[in-house]
Amino acid sequence: MTGVKTSFSLLDRILAPGGLTVVFQPIFALPGTAPKLHALDCRVRGPVGTNLEEPCVLAEYARHKRAESLVDRACLTTAMQTVSALLPASRLPIHLHVTTLGSDQDFAEFLLSLAEQSDISPTRLVVEVGEPEVPWDHAIFTASLQKLRACGVRLALSNFGNQSANYHLLLDCQPDFISLDRYLVNHSGSDHRRQVILDSLARLAARFEAEVIAEGVETEADLKALCQAGIRFAQGALLSQALVAQTLPAFVMQTDAVASTVI
Amino acid sequence: MQVLNQTITTTPAVTSQILVVDDEAPIRFALKEYLSTQGLAVSCAGEVAEAEAMLPLHDYSVAIVDLHLTGNCGFEGLEVISAIRAGYPRTRIVLLSANISPETGQTARDLGVDVLLHKPMPLSGVAQIVFELIQLHPVSKEQS
């Protein structure tokens, strides 16, 4: 059997110009009569037409290629260029591999330099990490976090409660935000056990002086359960689908109280 | 690859997920098109890392894995097979290659490959094997 062999790996396509695109998942503040836009979660997609268009597959691919730092740098560059052009005042949460911060000693400097070049204040940046599955250097990780914090970058734990995103990272990162994995959120409106966990995590986060963000909210019942647990921020299909860059300015313009809620 | 105008009639009641791992795009395309017409949900990957990144997405009933995934006669397919066996023991594995030596075949069986298929293989023959393996991997409630 003969056929055309793949001439370029997916990694080549990721790193090629235009290989990555950005979508934004709005995060809403829950208290009040209606959810209000709070921030925009920045998700980078891989090459169009490939499995890597799904951000979680892109992240896993980078991990399996042992190219977390390389891909994270490319994602960060794309995200900052996109946000700088579209949203000069928005907060920018960006997902990174723990191993990038725990192995790439120059990554913090790279991030801060890129922010300066893009005219983005570090205080607008939220670095999200989660689920380390390979060994990483704790000293390098801690030093990276200290450099970022010193410049005003805030930290978030993503997918908290899922696999390795657990208390270990909570202690090491001391995050400003804790994003709850959708597994905990979905069906929480009808599942007493999930309500107990949400209530517990909301109180835990408050003791750590961190805000909780619920991921993957899909039903009114789940939203109600989150409010009852005292969780103040949420994202998911019930509130808004992910937005491509071209539609973002119009979405932000249409959203109430944007000026006071988008940081 | 020879294509026969033969339709498999043992379509499962619920959709089973199949993963095809081959570096040759025409083969991925042909397998996806044919197995999809048989009522199966088919995902494809062309590299080891891509395949490994795809594994958490679905409860795959069967993975069809090519032995050589870089075009330079490495045995990268065995890496994929090891990853499947380590994390997804319910998934049945077909190793598909034009060049499987007895030693490599034994290594593959030791790793947990269920069926060795030699290329060229009619698509209908591959489908028949896949449906037989699906009977050993009932679709979970979460999928149905």
Paired residues of A244 in beta bridges: A23
Paired residues of A261 in beta bridges: none
Whether residues A4 and B26 touch (CB distance < 8 A) is answered with yes
Which strand (E) or helix (H) includes residue B17? strand B17-21
* Model confidence band, residue B71 (pLDDT cutoffs 50, 70, 90): low
Using N-to-C axis directions, what is the helix angle for B76-87 and B102-111, rounded to 10°?
A: 20
Whether residues A52 and B27 touch (CB distance < 8 A) is answered with no
Average pLDDT over residues B17-38: 95
Distance from CA of A236 to the nearest CA of B (A): 19
Rounded-to-10 torsion of CA B13, B19, B22, B23: 130
Using N-to-C axis directions, what is the helix angle for A138-150 and A107-117, rounded to 10°?
A: 30
The candidate with the shortest Cα–Cα distance to B111, out of B143, B70, B73, B77, is B77
Q: For residue B50, list chain A residues with Cβ-Cβ distance below 8 A.
A: 10, 51-52, 57, 61
Residue B25 has pLDDT above 60, yes or no: yes
pLDDT tens track for A185-241: 999 999 999 999 999 999 999 999 999 999 999 999 999 999 999 999 999 999 998
pTM metric for this prediction: 0.80
Among A3, A5, A57, select the one facing B53 at the smallest CB separation: A57
Residue A62 has pLDDT above 60, yes or no: yes
CA distance A182 to A130: 14
pLDDT tens track for A141-156: 899 999 999 999 999 9
In this structure, what are the phi and psi dihedrals at residue A118, rounded to the nearest 5 degrees? Answer: -90, 5
* Model confidence band, residue A261 (pLDDT cutoffs 50, 70, 90): very low
Token pair in block for residue A202: 């909301």
CA distance A123 to A83: 14
Whether residues A60 and B56 touch (CB distance < 8 A) is answered with yes
3-state SS of chain A: helix, strand, coil percent to 5? Answer: 45, 20, 35
Q: Is A137 helix (H, G, I), strand (E, B) or coil?
A: coil
Residue with the bigger pLDDT between A82 and A86: it is A82
CA-CA distances (angstroms) from residue B137 to A128, B10, B14, B61? Answer: 37, 15, 12, 6
Query: Is any Cβ of chain B less than 8 angstroms from the Cβ of A70?
Result: no
Q: Is B52 helix (H, G, I), strand (E, B) or coil?
A: helix
Token pair in block for residue A233: 């921020």
How does the average pLDDT of chain A come out, rounded? 85
Residue A259 has pLDDT above 70, yes or no: no
Q: Is A215 helix (H, G, I), strand (E, B) or coil?
A: coil
* Model confidence band, residue A91 (pLDDT cutoffs 50, 70, 90): low
Question: For a pLDDT cut of 90, what percent of chain A falls above it?
Answer: 48
Which strand (E) or helix (H) includes residue B63? strand B62-66
The candidate with the shortest Cα–Cα distance to A197, out of A236, A234, A160, is A160
């930290």: which residue's tokens?
A155
Average pLDDT over residues A14-26: 92
Q: How high is the pLDDT of residue A32?
A: 64
Cβ(A184)–Cβ(A161) below 8 Å: yes
* Model confidence band, residue A253 (pLDDT cutoffs 50, 70, 90): confident
Average pLDDT over residues B137-143: 56
pLDDT tens track for A105-140: 999 999 999 999 988 889 888 888 876 656 678 889
CA distance B83 to A9: 20
Q: For residue A60, list chain B residues with Cβ-Cβ distance below 8 A.
A: 52-53, 56
Q: How high is the pLDDT of residue A133?
A: 59
Q: Which of A9, A10, A50, A51 to mutate to test the interface with B (most CBs of B within 10 A)?
A: A51
Q: Is A111 helix (H, G, I), strand (E, B) or coil?
A: helix
Whether residues B27 and A65 touch (CB distance < 8 A) is answered with no
